[in-house]
Amino acid sequence: MFKFDRRLLLNFNWGILITVILLAIMGMMNLYSATYSPTGPSSFFINQGKYFLLGFALILFVVSVDYRFLISLNYPIYFLILILLCIALFFGGKVANTQRWINLGFVRLQPSELTKLALVINLASYYFRKDTGKGFTLKELIIPMLLTGIPFLLILKQPDLGTAMMLTIIFISMTLLVKVKWTTVLLLTSAGIAMIPTGWFFILKDYQKQRIRTLFDPEGDPLGTGYHIIQSKIAIGSGMIFGKGYLKGTQGHLNFLPERHTDFAFSIWAEEWGFIGSIGFLACYFFLILMALKIAGTARDKFGVLLAYGIAALLFWQAVINLGMILGLLPVVGMPLPFFSYGGSSLITSMVSVGLLLNIGMRRFLVGGQ
């Protein structure tokens, strides 16, 4: 499992690692500004720095183990995640009417963040083992739907609609990659459309419905549900071309913008660095996703393809949802921006995901059991 081959280093994707380091530097700079205090670095800044160091250590560990080992570990990982979700739901700490965290003393663990990567691993393992090339039928997709549906319901109960929907998006993205019979696609699409009214009237809570309404008319409640989006747009727009300058943003430093170190972290960056800085930042994300897709396209086996593609989808859709949210194009659902928003569990999940990408890329030249 830990067998070393010098070709591993020759095939190491330094571009991905350098990109992640750049994102980490920008994220730490932004967090320092968002939580700025004349007395010194905030506890958020110090904690995030520790998580980054832990994340890079985990990358070194993850790349040292052949990723195919996960094929046999998928269900143990899945059941461990379910146990953690249940502990968080029934015994976890409550913050802002949500129950998502397990207090371990030295750190607060958010299992729902880890669930995203665990689902990618489980779907990749299932599709790898069951794919015959003839196309999956509805019956053969029951297990993947259960793998997605159980944690979906547990996370929805916390409540955390954004993360729950992210699991659905991961399932759809990875299922579309494998061959699925057209009849199955039509049935699932029809069922999904039919579930929309059910979800609206019987699943979504009143405040979640209000967030969706606010998307179309944020000015209708400027001091309530529309406040976040309005202040975010003001921050982004006031940055103009070159920004107001580092540590000179007014929306964040004058406390107009809520959740500026978590969900709306990019709004602070756009205000201080402007359009040019925002494009530079987004270019790093674009490059990272391209590299992930390249690794998926050159992986040595179908499991590597599915795993790398699932990770690419995970990073891509989280970024799209977060940026769409702060721009007022999507409802505010509490989706972190990978490597950028404050949050230990989210950051560790993203770093381990990058470690797996590097792992798959390093071993693309190996064949059989080498």
Residues 232-290 pLDDT 10s: 999 999 999 999 999 999 888 888 888 888 889 999 999 999 999 999 999 999 999 99
pLDDT tens digit sequence for 278-300: 999 999 999 999 999 999 999 98
Dist. CA 53–CA 367, nearest whole Å = 33
The residue behind tokens 């996703």 is: 289
- The β-bridge partners of 180 are 136
pTM over 0.85: yes
Virtual torsion, Cα 10, 11, 17, 18, nearest 10 deg: 60
Q: What's the gap between Cα 186 and its chain centre?
A: 28
Average pLDDT, the chain: 89
Which pLDDT score is estimated for 131? 86
The tokens for 222 are 């400027």
**Distance linking the first and last C-alpha atoms of the chain:** 10
pLDDT tens digit sequence for 166-176: 999 999 999 98
The residue behind tokens 């250590």 is: 57
Candidates 269, 287, 292; CA nearest to 341 is 269
Does the pLDDT value for residue 5 go beyond 90? Answer: no
pLDDT tens digit sequence for 327-367: 988 888 889 999 999 999 999 999 999 999 999 999 887 65
